[in-house]
Chain A
Amino acid sequence: MKIVCRCEDISEEDIVKAIDEYGCETLAELKQLLRLGMGHCQGRTCLILAAKILARKTGKSIQEIMPSFRPPVVPVDIGLIGGENEE
């Protein structure tokens, strides 16, 4: 079993199953269904691997399979933003 997303523990099999069984065609759908790329690293390592699997299975190019990023890009502390943690 090949692990694609280490943060969320998602294997290549999981991704292939989501494509075959649920008809996923985009990274957005894989994110929704499997939590792919939703871990602490925010998909920095797994999204490109998943995009390659998608490209292989759907015949689309990697460029067509673009991820969407949601800020903050780097995790930040609640206390830091909330302004009650000044030291």
Chain B
Amino acid sequence: MKNEADVVVIGGGINGCAIAYELAKRGKDIIVVERKWLAYGATGRCGAGIRQQWATKENAMLAKKSVEIFEGLSEELGYDIGLRQGGYLIAIHDEEGMKQAKKNVEMQRSIGLPVRIIGEDEIKEIAPILSPEGMEAIAATFCPTDGHANPFKTTYAYAMAAKKLGAEIYKFTEVKDIKVEEGKVKKVITNRGEIKTKYVVNAAGAWSREIGKMVGLEMPNKPVRKEAMVTEPLKRMFDCMVISFKHGIYFSQQDEGQILGGIPSPEEKVGYHTEPTFSFLKHMAHMLGKYAPSLKHVSILRQWTGFYDVTPDALPILGETSIEGFIQCNGFSGHGFMIAPMTARLLAQLICGEKIDMDISRLNMDRFKGEITEEKAVVG
């Protein structure tokens, strides 16, 4: 194990691996430390949906720029990431929802997204298995360039490309402490040795707040257990992700044909709880049967849990902190996969002192001292 690096990245999820790649591309000497294996955290348990239809401009822009990167990523990294752009169909249930949808669509179109509002007939055209009646939907918004990528393939693609550029990735290596002197990052202490460095990127997902404590930062992030399930594989029936902010449900058909989805579980808990619940399965099956009645005879193969790393405004925490060299990259709630490509690029630009493509200063941790603008368009 090397004992010195320009930047130590904590966490081998999509964000840690993407940042490692962007930094290695810029000639930096990088070490990624991961307590378990790549994609062990939320990344390996997520829906990996890619949505640009957000209510806040920050999220919509981050997602849009990320889609532009995703579109060329298999080629750039030299490994297939399993990108599929089948769109996101977001149910609108009532007049109130329609008002919010119109506002969102206006903002989204103003930044160049091809989003539109569609009626019940078009819902059935796009995804014939859907029942607008069962969904209690009067309309939907649809953005055809939204989609999905394989979370494992994408993470490994970034990691392998970073390695080829000289980055070191240490699995089964846990960060135990971080030494700070005179307000500056000096050293990362792991169970396998110490690494001298000036920069640490905190991309430890739901465990980021524990890493924050190591440098004396109190972070507002909360780990929230989320559940997901997958069915047996079926012949291809629809290409889009279906979601509803009101019901909190999301589901799509994966490349291999299985239906993967989630919904907030009735027993949702804050804290590091990993046990799956039957009440989730029951609730999910019930709602899925309403949204797509023909799925009632389909078997569920697996269910599992993962953590959302939730901030008070459901926006990520990105950038510098009061500790020199300690860079935040966490608090992604339920959407840290889809914005990772752009987030990684911006943070790499920040660390390398380059001109930054997009102003992310509002996503700094300092914002929690003042008034909070919350992202309302969240599911799962």
Contact = CB atoms under 8 A, between A and B. Distances in A.
A5 B173 CA distance: 30
Nearest to A33: B152
Interface in A58-76: 70-72, 75-76
Nearest to A41: B301
A53 interface: no
A7 B4 CA distance: 45
B171 interface: yes
Contacts of A40: 232, 301
Nearest to B153: A33
B276 A71 contact: yes
A81 B285 contact: yes
Given A32-B39, A35-B256, A70-B304, A84 B281 contact: no
Interface string A10-32: 00000000000011011011001
B296 A79 contact: yes
Contacts of A71: 276, 302-303
A33 B281 CA distance: 26
Contacts of B297: 77-79, 85
A22 B289 CA distance: 39
Of A29, A33, A79, A81, chain B has the most CB atoms within 10 Å of the CB of A81
A29 B300 contact: no
A78 B288 contact: yes
A78 B296 contact: yes
A77 B294 CA distance: 12
How many chain A residues sit at the interface, stated as a range, is: 20 to 34
B273 interface: no
Given A22-B160, A29-B38, A81 B302 contact: no
Interface in A30-52: 32-33, 35, 38, 40, 42
A32 B286 contact: no
B231 A78 contact: yes
Contacts of B322: none
Given A28-B40, A75-B232, A33 B285 contact: no
Nearest to B169: A23
Given A22-B160, A32-B44, A83-B282, A72 B289 contact: no
Nearest to A21: B160
A63 to B, nearest CB: 17
B232 A79 contact: no
Contacts of A23: 171
A26 B37 contact: yes
B328 to A, nearest CB: 26
Given A70-B276, A72-B303, A78 B282 contact: no
Contacts of B232: 40, 75
B299 A83 contact: no
5 contacts: A32-B152, A42-B302, A71-B302, A75-B299, A83-B282
Given A76-B300, A83-B282, 19 more contacts: A22-B160, A25-B171, A28-B37, A29-B38, A33-B152, A40-B301, A70-B276, A71-B302, A71-B303, A75-B299, A77-B297, A77-B300, A78-B231, A78-B297, A79-B289, A79-B297, A81-B286, A83-B286, A85-B289
